[in-house]
């Protein structure tokens, strides 16, 4: 490069050979045959259904008109989350997402061993204003599958789509896939060329916006929801974690005060 302040790679060398110049590739990328264990890393016990994303309230609270729920609160441009409490009115025996209050469901789907474990929680801050779901196998540090959404059917569709393509990120809006980038290597990296990955990744970012999300970097917020080493609340395969106090919390805490 000729200017370290206005950084642009003018020439790229690899192994003693000029491989790119002035933004243009001069060689064909090597073709690699990846083993099945590397590209088949999304293992679900069975295809998921809308019922799997039903957030039920405990039997002892079935007669309560309003219940207090622990909610993960997104902080824009920051890794920490807030520990929020919402007083919610159950819909029968379950808690629904509520786009009027910027409340979505979040699910952690175990995808490494096919155990069938699904942990559910609530999250606020994405700003979704339509029936939708966004799923990702990029979820630091354990990289389980994370699904956030306002519609149970869309959440199931998003999870099943990632299982079908071998991992990545997908956006489902009102029953239709509107964004998708396949990350087949471990559910984390692509087998395709950079230009293709960039184009597909952009469909996911556009999908966030089409669902009402106005966050500056929603992909980062999504990928950190399962990072159980940063306060305050996170979701793990064992349940909702209060990282500050090193304890597990129920999603539905009790009757509203």
Q: Which pLDDT tens digit goes with each residue over 79-90?
A: 999 999 999 999
H/E stretch holding 17: strand 17-21
pLDDT in tens, 120-157: 999 999 999 999 999 999 999 999 999 999 999 999 99
For residue 213, the SS3 value is coil
Per-residue pLDDT band at 194 (split at 50, 70, 90): confident
**Residue in the block written with tokens 């309560």:** 64
d(Cα 58, Cα 142) in Å, to the nearest integer? 28
Per-residue pLDDT band at 94 (split at 50, 70, 90): very high
d(Cα 34, Cα 196) in Å, to the nearest integer? 19
H/E stretch holding 103: strand 103-109
d(Cα 169, Cα 148) in Å, to the nearest integer? 11
User: Measured in Å, how far apart are the chain's first and last C-alpha atoms?
Assistant: 63
Residues whose CB falls within 8 Å of the CB of residue 202, separated by 6 or more in sequence, listed in order? none
Tell if the pTM clears 0.75, that is, is over it.
Answer: yes
């Amino acid at each position: 490069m000729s200017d370290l302040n206005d950084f642009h790679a003018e020439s790229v060398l690899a192994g003693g050979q000029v491989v790119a110049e002035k933004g243009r590739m001069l060689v064909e990328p090597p073709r690699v045959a990846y083993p099945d264990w590397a590209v088949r890393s999304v293992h679900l016990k069975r295809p998921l259904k809308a019922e799997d994303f039903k957030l039920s309230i405990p039997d002892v609270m079935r007669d309560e008109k309003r219940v207090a729920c622990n909610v993960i609160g997104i902080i824009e441009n920051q890794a920490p989350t807030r520990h929020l409490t919402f007083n919610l009115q159950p819909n029968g025996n379950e808690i629904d997402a509520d786009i009027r209050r910027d409340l979505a469901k979040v699910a952690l789907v175990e995808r490494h061993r096919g155990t069938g474990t699904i942990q559910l929680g609530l999250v606020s801050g994405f700003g979704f204003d339509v029936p939708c779901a966004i799923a990702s196998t990029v979820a630091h540090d354990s990289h389980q599958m994370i699904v956030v959404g306002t519609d149970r059917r869309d959440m199931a569709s998003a999870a099943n789509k990632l299982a079908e393509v071998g991992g990545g990120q997908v956006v489902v809006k009102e029953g239709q896939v509107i964004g998708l980038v396949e990350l087949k290597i471990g559910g984390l990296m692509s087998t395709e060329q950079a230009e293709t990955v960039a184009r597909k990744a952009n469909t996911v970012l556009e999908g966030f916006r089409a669902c009402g999300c106005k966050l500056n970097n929603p992909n980062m917020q999504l990928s950190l929801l399962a990072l159980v080493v940063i306060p305050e609340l996170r979701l793990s395969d064992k349940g909702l974690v209060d990282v500050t106090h090193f304890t597990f919390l129920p999603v539905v805490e009790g009757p509203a005060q």
